Structure formats: structure tokens, C-alpha cells
Amino acid sequence: MWPFAKKKPLELPDFWWEYEEHFKEKLPEDIHANTFVVLDSETTGFSLTKDRMLCIGALKLSDNNIVVKDSFEVYIQQEHYDSDSAEIHGILKKSKKDSLIELEALKQFLRYVKNYILVGHHIMFDINMINAALKRNGLPKLKNKTLDTESLYVRTLLISTVVQKKERYSLDDLAKRFSISCKDRHTALGDAFITAIAFLRIIEKLKPKKIKDLLKK
């Protein structure tokens, strides 16, 4: 091979290059000019190798508002099934919900999230599950920046002397703290909605002006 020969570009589907194209644009510095995607996934378990995503639910936040009409929810076809986890998320093996093959679900998800900042409660679990699915389908990892509502919530407690800090905070803890209804708890879209409201309450407390104020660890 000649020393100055160009590397052959990776043979990836068009929808992946469309996704990457969004990252040529810088995120706005002003927090209110950003769009956030709040997401949650329901899975068959916690193993990145053995388990699979059953459903991905997501909502967009724009200028401190939840854009309910632009929500995202996709159910994924699979061979693996765990009846124990079904007791939590309620997705039955013979569910009548329309479902997609994993690659098509990922394609729709990438087109939805673009280069927006992804928000979730314990979000790295969801990100790792999505990345594992991307890898199975021969695709690279997600490129989006992420925010975790647990970490952000802990930052609100640094300026509070009333609430006693714990080591971990569940989504139920945040729902209770901010008086958020848990009617649709343990559905992907329902949990995303709860997380979105909690995120907005946290923003009210932290009062960040620039996006870098939120992204700092």
C-alpha cells in the first residue's frame, strides 16, 4: 500500500452519515437555544451482551417546554425474552404493539436525536444498551453529549441544607421530591416524561445560563 494512499471510507449506511452530518454544527452556547432529547429504554435485563432493548421512548425539550407532539416511541422485535422483567415494564411476549427490527429502530432513533444533548436518569445504562445494539449492527457509538438527572439533582442538594443526601437517587425519589405523577412509570415513554419534568425542575434550581454550566462534571 502506498504511504500516502487515502483510507477507504467505512461502508456505513446513508442514515449513519446523515446522523454524523449534524455534528458539524456546534451546539448553541445559550441553554435556552438548545434542544434536549429526554429518553428511556425498557430492556429484557441488565446485561449488555445477553439482553436487548424492548422499547425506546423519548421526548424533546425546547426552551423549557416539553414538545409532547414530537415524542418518539418504538418497540423492537427480538428473540430473547425475560418473563421476570416483563412484570416491571409490562411488555408481553405476544404483545400486539407494532414492532420493528433492531436496525430500523436504531435508524429512526438516530434521525430523531440528531446532535441534540441526550438526557436520562442513569442515562449511561440506556446509552450503553443503544451502543451495544449499534455495535451488533456494525455501526459506531453514539456521538451525542449526555446529561444524567441523578447527577444534576445531586448538584441541587449542594445548595440545600434541608435535604439529607443519599448515595443513589432513583427516578421515584425525584418524582416524589418534585411531586410528579408516576401514572405511567416503567414504560419507556412514561419514564421519559417523568424524567423530562424532573429535568426542568432541576434547571429551575440550578439556573444555568450556558450549556457548558450543565455539561461540566
Query: pLDDT in tens for each of the 217 residues of the chain?
Result: 445 445 545 689 999 999 999 999 999 999 999 999 999 999 999 999 999 999 999 999 999 999 989 999 999 987 755 555 444 444 444 554 679 999 999 999 999 999 999 999 999 999 999 999 999 999 999 999 999 999 999 998 866 555 566 778 999 999 999 999 988 787 999 999 999 999 999 999 999 989 999 997 6
Q: With H, G, I as helix, E, B as strand and everything else as coil, classify residue 69.
A: strand
Q: What share of the chain is helix, strand, coil (3-state, %, to 5)?
A: 40, 20, 40
* CA of residue 105 relative to chain centroid, distance: 14
**DSSP annotation string for 58-84:** EEEEETTEEEEEEEEEEEE--S---HH
pTM for this structure? 0.86
> What are residue 146's DSSP bridge partners?
118
CB 176 within 8 A of CB 152: no
Give the number of other Cβ atoms within 10 Å of residue 24's Cβ. 7
